[in-house]
Amino acid sequence: MSNSERAPLVGIVMGSRSDWETMQHAAARLEALGVPHEVRVVSAHRTPDLLYRYAEEAAPRGLRAIVAGAGGAAHLPGMLAAKTAVPVLGVPVQSKALNGLDSLLSIVQMPAGVPVATFAIGQAGAANAALFAAAMLASGYPEIGAALDAFRARQTEDVLGHPDPRA
Ligand code: RP5
């Protein structure tokens, strides 16, 4: 059974199918670390009722974190955070018009009391949000912690093993 078929611990959601190019990097990291997850398109503007339902059902369904990516007027992470106590990790998708600065500011400037952990614009943010979600789960799921430690060790070895950037 693949990690995306087991009862999900992490929900990856995005405002549009067009966000998948970015958000696939979150899914790939969770898959590699053996973190059960699901992937859904949930739009704050086009499917607001679905957004509410997703947020309300997140905790009872066992989700421990939601990685939410959106671009432009990126209200998805903030509105999810408004409707669930499950931690929301926001990923600003790089928009065409403003290169994702709009997305970043939309997500990061939450009012006190409704937190969204905000990551970098684009692919790096998606990858790091997934790694952060895995780190949040590590204390309760030792196998995820071990996978994260192994990933970090490989990453370090890779850098140390290739010290000459011309090679
Ligand atoms: C946002 O609008 C989505 O998150 C996406 O980044 C952006 C553009 O959506 P599409 O017009 O590509 O569907 O809601």
- What ipTM was predicted for this assembly? 0.96
Q: 18, 50, 99: which to mutate for ligand 1, most atoms within 8 A of CB?
A: 18
How far, in Å, is the centroid of ligand 1 from the Cα of 40? Answer: 14
- Are the C-beta atoms of residues 65 and 89 closer than 8 Å to each other? yes
Structural domains of the chain, ranges and CATH numbers in brackets: 10-161 (3.40.50.1970)
125-146 pLDDT per residue, tens: 999 999 999 999 999 999 999 9
| Tens of pLDDT, residues 70-105 | 999 999 999 999 999 999 999 999 999 999 999 999
Query: Do 33 and 10 contact (CB within 8 A), yes or no?
Result: no
149 annotated ligand binder = no
- Nearest in space to 78 (alpha carbons), one of 52, 49, 53, 106: 106
Q: What pTM did the predictor assign? A: 0.96
Q: What is the pLDDT of residue 16?
A: 98
139 among annotated binding-site residues: no
